[in-house]
Amino acid sequence: MSDSPSVLTHGLTKSYGPVQALRGVDLEVRRGEVFGFLGPNGAGKTTTIRCLLDLIRPSGGTVRVLGLDPQAEPVAVRARVGYLPGELHLEDNLSAEAALRFFNRLRGGRADPAFVRQLARRLDLDLGTPIKNLSKGNKQKVGVVQALMHRPELLLLDEPTSGLDPLGQQEVQRLVAEARGAGATIFFSSHILPDVEGVADHVGILRDGRLVVSEDLDTLKQRHAHVRLGYTGLPSDDALAGLRRVPGVVRVERDGRSVRARVDGDVAAVVAAFQSSMPTPATVDTSYLSLDDIFLHYMAEA
């Protein structure tokens, strides 16, 4: 396996007339990892994914996918990538099976028909049903199967569980985990942050076309916490003012004989600074933020 990243962008920009959708995005997705790509609606996530596949051309910057330039070698890139768009458009009059055969021909017949049928069974998808008779969730299952069926090296999934019921969501998560176990790199966007938190190794958060954070999830969570210090006496106003000046402290509140601080940085260093500037606390409790709360923190900074 090559040591080059599965996805690499540098200074990626994209404008739609006067609207700047991407403003210098630098991404690096390592081989074999699960990368959660997060952001509010309109942040530029789908635009980024389309640039990776040369479905749209960036206005500037460089893109490499599996070591290849998608503008110079789009067919080679797409043959090795499984892509599930956020809005999948299928020919209504085709059956699900015929639609999948069409996608397989586009990839040079790389998919094993037995594996396609296995995926369909696991997702409880009737391959004989015309697309026009499928529900939104079952159309999504067709999209999942076409993304996975040729066992790609890289999966680009834009809201992969959208429209699925809880059972379908769980099965898709298992299929993606199995693809990762077989060596695939997973790059996916989702608004269901607990799902991202459960599977992602690395998280990138996009806001207004800029990547505001890209970090291993465990490291990111270690930098965002609530710290509560319990005292036997009342903390003074001067002491609280000093705590607010500690680097990494976002907010300090007094709650009776406790001090509650919101930390964005080195939690251990902040606690040490607290202890050096105030009497030794009777109790120290640290609770790390969920990915939901971390995401909202970065959105609130806008």
| Domains of the chain with CATH codes | 7-215 (3.40.50.300), 223-300 (3.30.70.100)
Q: What is the pLDDT of residues 182-218, one digit of tens each?
A: 999 999 999 989 889 989 999 999 999 999 999 999 9
Q: The tokens of 214 are what?
A: 């890209």
Who contacts 72 (Cβ-Cβ below 8 Å, separation ≥6)? none
> How far, CA to CA in Å, does 103 sit from each of 8, 73, 76, 172?
26, 19, 15, 19
Quote the pLDDT of residue 213: 94
Whether 177 and 199 have beta carbons less than 8 Å apart is answered as yes
Taken in order 286, 290, 296, 297, the sign of the CA dihedral is positive
- For residue 174, the SS3 value is helix
Q: What parts of the chain have a pLDDT lower than 70?
A: 1-2, 235, 275, 277-280, 302
What pTM does this model have? 0.88
Quote the pLDDT of residue 228: 82
Neighbours of 142 (CB within 10 A): 26
Quote the pLDDT of residue 247: 82
Distance CA 211, CA 7 (A): 15
Angle of helix 136-148 versus helix 113-122 axis, rounded to 10: 140
Quote the pLDDT of residue 279: 67
